[in-house]
Amino acid sequence: MGDTAGRRGLRAAMEAESREWLVRCPACGFERSVAEMGGTRYKALGTKKRFLRCPHCRGFGWHTIYRSGTGVRLAPLRPSRPLWWHIGALVGVLLLFFVLLGGGFFFILSRASAGPRDTTTAYFAAVGAGDWASAHDSLSAARREQVTPANLAALWETQESAHGPVAGFDTTSFSVKNGRARISGKLRYRDETTESRVVQLVREGGVWKIASAP
């Protein structure tokens, strides 16, 4: 009997206190108790926010849950916004996040590929200028043992005889992994002829060097 009476008294106290906790719409000020909403709030402190739809003005917003008679200062009323506005704001935040994330990812890839691309561009610039010593220096140690600056000059003289000197190299794709890189692009000649080229590079002593046939 005592336990039953105690449980009944607790339920009554919980229901009574839940009626003192009010849920206020931030747009129209409509209030209803937690108990009216089918909930329970007992021995709680402070205020709480919940994103709800007001049954009076039909607007969505962050409703304030507070206990009446405690002198809580409530924020002034603000016009409610439709659900689509909140969904749009969330989508906007997500898009911004992915744009920033994608930008950071692109920045990392660009930093990773800068060395191999710079080496490749410098090599073909040296070839176009006839600077065979610099072109030879752009090669890996293994390639430098196989060809000399004179060999490079003879090789490129044959290739440039039909279209004129090399005018530049435009990278179209790249990949970098485990100290090796692969650069694909278009080699341009003075007469505006182009040809596809794939350049393999290797990292030696912290510097990217061309490992494929020049």
Q: What is the pLDDT of residues 182-204, one digit of tens each?
A: 999 999 988 888 999 999 999 99
Dihedral Cα 126, 128, 130, 134, nearest 10 deg: 10
The predicted model gives 71-80 an average pLDDT of 77
Tell me the mean pLDDT in the region 14-25: 92
One of 3.40.50.800, 3.20.20.70, 3.10.450.100, 3.30.930.10 is the CATH number of 115-210, namely 3.10.450.100
CB half-sphere exposure, 1, CA atoms < 13 A:
0
Residue 99 is predicted with a pLDDT of 63
The band of 18, judged by pLDDT with boundaries at 50, 70 and 90, is very high
pLDDT, position 1: 54
C-alpha R_g of the chain:
36
> Two tokens at 15?
């229901």
Residue range 9-25: mean pLDDT, rounded? 91
pLDDT at 214: 61
Tell me: the pLDDT tens digits for 96-133?
766 665 555 444 444 545 688 888 888 988 888 889 99
Q: How confident is the model at residue 80 (pLDDT cuts 50, 70, 90)?
A: low
- In the chain, which segments carry CATH 3.10.450.100? 115-210
Averaged pLDDT of the chain = 83
- Residues 122 and 169: their CA atoms lie apart, in Å, by 9
Q: Which pair of tokens denotes residue 150? A: 């004179």
Q: What is the mean pLDDT of residues 153-174?
A: 86
Q: How many CB atoms lie within 10 A of CB 152?
A: 21
pLDDT of residue 36: 92
Confidence class for position 20, pLDDT limits 50, 70, 90:
very high
Q: How many CA atoms lie within 13 A of 199 on its CB side?
A: 31
pTM: 0.49
pLDDT score of 72 more than 90: no
pLDDT above 90 (res 71): no
DSSP the chain: -HHHHHHHHHHHHHHHHHHHEEEE-TTT--EEETTTTT----S--S-EEEEEE-TTT--EEEEEEEETTS-PPPPPP---B-HHHHHHHHHHHHHHHHHHHHHHHHHHHHHHHHHHHHHHHHHHHHHHHT-HHHHHHTB-HHHHHH--HHHHHHHHHHHHTTT-SEEEEEEEEEEEETTEEEEEEEEEETTS-EEEEEEEEEEETTEEEE-S--
Q: Average pLDDT, stretch 54-78?
A: 86
Q: Residue 80 and residue 53: Cα distance in Å, rounded?
A: 10
pLDDT of res. 25 = 92
